[in-house]
Amino acid sequence: MPVTLERQQSSTRSAYPAEIAIVLLLSLGQSAIWSMVSLTAKLTAEKPLASQTATLNPTTSARPYLDLTNQVLSILFDLMPVLLAWYLLRRDGLQPGRELGIDHRRPGFDLGWGAGLAAAIGLPGLLLVYAALQLGLSAQIVPSGLNAYWWTVPVLIMSAIQNAILEEVLVVGYLITRLQQIGRLSMPWIIVCSAVLRGSYHLYQGFGGFVGNFVMGVVFALFYLKTKRVMPLIVAHSLLDITAFVGYELLPDSWLDWLKYQP
């Protein structure tokens, strides 16, 4: 390899830590910091953590169409860090669609494994949420705080898909790729970094949210390293969030009472 090219590549790799920090602080890293602030506020409040709530999709206005506008714009703008990460990877000569497995080359594989991962994680995750709540380690999670309008369910589905794309592309595809390129961490530590990040921006839900999402992060990272495909993870995450968001919106309150804190 020519010396000049080697120096250029070395210089590029040395810039990756700063690049990772910028991308994450514009997106999920920022969410992690706010989640820690939120958890601290809950823990220092006068009432127990389990008697407090964490709302995932809050309403922004009592005016229906203003709320709809705000929800759609929020979904679109939250995807901008994904475009930034995509651009940065392409700038360095990678093909994110093919190399991260975010394409339509294997639809059967992606849908099948995505549904399987969602099923394997969904039920244990629900039981963990229930256990953490009853033990006082988590706040009561409200998947939807939106009022009932004709657009509520479509917006919740869009929000679920946006969450899946944002988290899986950045936390798995982008972050693992960049950490591998830096070459300073062993693979177990790369997996831990990805999983800790995923857990940290769920801390606003309480300690149960961190543990559950940390475990999910380990599983998803291992799956990606084995298959080199992010698409099944997007499918799985979308199915999990759609079930939680839309299910909460549509199921009768009596069906959801068992998930509430019983002091």
Instruction: Give the domain range for residue 150.
Output: 3-259
In this prediction, residue 217 carries a pLDDT of 98
pLDDT band at 250 (very low <50, low <70, confident <90, very high): confident
Q: d(Cα 60, Cα 224) in Å, to the nearest integer?
A: 36
Q: d(Cα 202, Cα 141) in Å, to the nearest integer?
A: 11
pLDDT band at 14 (very low <50, low <70, confident <90, very high): confident
pLDDT band at 254 (very low <50, low <70, confident <90, very high): low
pLDDT score of 257 more than 90? no
Q: Could you write out the DSSP letters of every residue in the chain?
A: --HHHHHHHHHHHHHHHHHHHHHHHTTHHHHHHHHHHHHHHHHTSSS-GGGSEEESSB---SSHHHHHHHHHHHHHHHTHHHHHHHHHHHHTT--HHHHTT-SSS-HHHHHHHHHHHHHHHHHHHHHHHHHHHHTT-BPEEES-B----TTHHHHHHHHHHHHHHHHIIIIIIIHHHHHHHH--S-HHHHHHHHHHHHHHTTGGGBHHHHHHHHHHHHHHHHHHHHH--SHHHHHHHHHHHHHHHHHHHHS-HHHHGGGS---
In this prediction, residue 133 carries a pLDDT of 85
pLDDT: is 227 or 127 the higher one?
227
In this prediction, residue 253 carries a pLDDT of 67
Rounded mean pLDDT of the chain?
92
Q: What is the pLDDT of residues 26-80, one digit of tens each?
A: 999 999 999 999 999 999 998 999 999 999 999 999 999 999 999 999 999 999 9
pLDDT score of 262 more than 60? no
pLDDT score of 11 more than 50? yes
pLDDT score of 189 more than 90? yes
In this prediction, residue 5 carries a pLDDT of 42
In this prediction, residue 123 carries a pLDDT of 87
Q: Please report, rounded to a whole number, the percentage of residues in the chain having pLDDT higher than 90.
A: 80
Picking from 122, 143, 107, the residue whose alpha carbon sits closest to that of residue 219 is 122
In this prediction, residue 2 carries a pLDDT of 56
> In total, how many domains does the chain have?
1
The reported pTM is 0.93
Q: What is the pLDDT of residues 143-165, one digit of tens each?
A: 999 999 999 999 999 999 999 99
